[in-house]
Chain A
Amino acid sequence: MKRSGVIWSWFWMILGILYFFLPLVATFLFSLRAKLGVLSFLAYTQLFHDSNFIKDFSFSVLWGLLTIIVGIVIFVPTAFWVRLKVPQVRTAVEFVTLLPFVIPAIVFVFGLVRTFSHPPFLIVNSPALLIAGYIVLSMPYMYRSIDTGLRSIDVRTLTEAGQSLGAGWGTILFRIILPNIRVAILSGAFLSFAIVMGEYILAQYLAKPAFAPFLAYLIQEKAYEPAAATIISFALTWACMGIIQLVGRGGPQAQLAGGH
């Protein structure tokens, strides 16, 4: 590569890093200025002593975990079955999974409220509706991650090999398919988790305790704590991404179709 090319590469890289990290560093530094004249973690301490923060943050973590579990239970068998038995409907299913990108969240929430606030579906106050909503919002990430994972293995042959050895559908799914798309599921799971942690509209309009509405409230009421909460939220997301990297590194599943 020419010298000028190298210089430009570095230029764009440094520009990118500054663009992404400068606001974050500024937010972090700002979060340390709660005590006048010195840098301290006072905003973080106060945040962790705020019972509403603990409660709303815990709820969001709980909603996030439930969304992941229910999402896996719904999407793994669906993607598996579509790939194995009805590949002709894959395009239609992919279109459906992309709908949350097209339909604004606010429209979606009002749709939920209208539909589920009258008998026989009077569940508007149930956390189940919130989780169902989160599952729909995270569907593009979860389903497509799983589908990408399934694409990297020979689903049909592995399934038939399992069947010929006496395995039923449950065994095939949990002992053959799932372990081989583990990284894809984790990617989808953590993306879903990040969606839930940052999602504001659903929780706000369904009047459920969650981290994003708490953050919005905090921004209106306090100065330094919102910055601290933002940094905590980022740290959590990065931790999740780090776990994906750790789990996805090497391992027997890294090869899948090759080896000959």
Chain B
Amino acid sequence: MTHLTLSNLSKQFSGNTVVQDFNLDVKKGEFVSFLGPSGCGKTTTLRMIAGFEVPTSGKVTLDDVDITDRAPNQRNVGMVFQAYALFPNMTVAQNIGFGLRIRRESGAAIKERVAEMLSIIHLEQKGNSYPYQLSGGQQQRVALARALANRPQVLLLDEPLSALDAKIRVQLRAEIRAIQRKLNTTAIYVTHDQEEALSISDRIVVMYEGRIEQIGTPFEIYNFPQTAFVASFVGTLNTTSAEVVDPAQKLLQIDGVQLQTAEDLANMHKGDKITIAIRPERFNFAAVEKKANILDCQIENITFLGSVVRIQVAVGSNRFYMDTFNNPFLELPKIGAQDQVTCSREAVLVLKS
């Protein structure tokens, strides 16, 4: 059942459209990430859900109740900010219990809930500390506990890990996900970090210039990008223009080299120009394994990336990346050598223009 619905949501600032016709249904307990570059409208959309921005048009519905015109403090929506936003004059326990005190819950109930939240974020000993006595990671965990203490219908997280260093970020995102699952809270998470979005989300909404480019599971977004933007923004992808040779046979041509795709070309005609994409890890050397498409190439560069070795090959006038897992016995080709790479039909994705 749909829990949170955003219908035709748009937002303009001084005639400049920052969010356009945004539609999304979120299920109870789902973790949805808004992913996109700076200025794509993801934070504005989140702020419209929180009530900090009033939509120019469209509707926000929570459990079938239209909350579009409700004040932020009337929405029962929790929010975690990038800058933590803990109240400096209050202890950790007072911060966590703030929302409960606003709701005039009894002292005993507040104490119990605060203890429960402290236990969930593993900061039982820090209840009497002030925010400035905590590390950044600890402060953000307190901010999360504070937002969840009120049992919000939706938890909104606005780039909550951006201010933290890489190691803590990875650790904390796993904690956020575990806590969200444990409490079965619906969560909307804003990030520009694709790895973060892919690792934490049930579904990802990829946004660009105020519009939704694609909505899908991390698996779908990564493996089946539908637009050139999603393809370029999420992961590394080889994209190039191609010409339809035979729609029935799903046959394409790049620089005179023929390729087969598994995608439906029924609506296309011979000679149509399209954009195709192939993930680097979908290529292999043809000497190891032969697949549907075999391309002659020249090895141009080899980059060692730790667990992966990235090989740049020239196929005609196109430059493609090929990723292969590192192992100590890997035999790498010589730079400048002629070789052949291969990929399956399914690896050749046709992008929407």
What residues of chain A have their CB less than 8 Å away from a CB belonging to chain B? 153-154, 157-158, 160-168, 171, 176, 179-180, 252-260
Contact = CB atoms under 8 A, between A and B. Distances in A.
25 contacts: A157-B81, A157-B83, A160-B85, A161-B87, A161-B146, A163-B71, A164-B73, A164-B79, A164-B147, A165-B78, A165-B150, A166-B102, A166-B103, A168-B73, A180-B87, A180-B89, A252-B91, A252-B131, A255-B130, A255-B132, A259-B132, A259-B139, A260-B139, A260-B163, A260-B164
A165 B102 contact: yes
A164 B164 CA distance: 23
By Cβ-Cβ distance, the 3 closest A-B pairs, closest first, are A260-B136, A255-B132, A165-B99
Nearest to B91: A252
B134 interface: yes
Contact of A158 (B52, B85, B102): B85
Interface string B219-262: 00000000000000000000000000000000000000000000
A256 B139 CA distance: 13
Contact of A164 (B50, B87, B89): B50
Contacts, number: 95
Given A160-B50, A160-B85, A260-B163, A255 B131 contact: yes
Given A158-B87, A260-B136, 4 more contacts: A153-B88, A165-B78, A166-B74, A255-B132
Interface in B132-173: 132-136, 139, 143, 146-147, 150, 156, 163-164
B320 interface: no
Contacts of A176: 87, 89
A160 B87 contact: no
B98 interface: yes
Interface string B98-138: 11001100000000000000000000000000111111100
Nearest to A157: B85
B77 interface: yes
Interface residues on B, range: 35 or more
Contacts of B91: 252
A167 B102 contact: yes
B88 A171 contact: no
A164 B77 contact: yes
Contacts of A257: 83
Given A160-B81, A161-B79, A252 B139 contact: no
Contacts of B98: 162, 165, 167
A165 B51 CA distance: 12
B72 interface: yes
B84 interface: yes
Nearest to A160: B52
Contact of A259 (B90, B134, B156): B134
B99 A166 contact: yes
A252 B92 CA distance: 12
Contact of A252 (B75, B79, B89, B103): B89
A8 B44 CA distance: 59
A199 B242 CA distance: 84
A163 B76 CA distance: 10
B88 A163 contact: no
Nearest to B168: A260
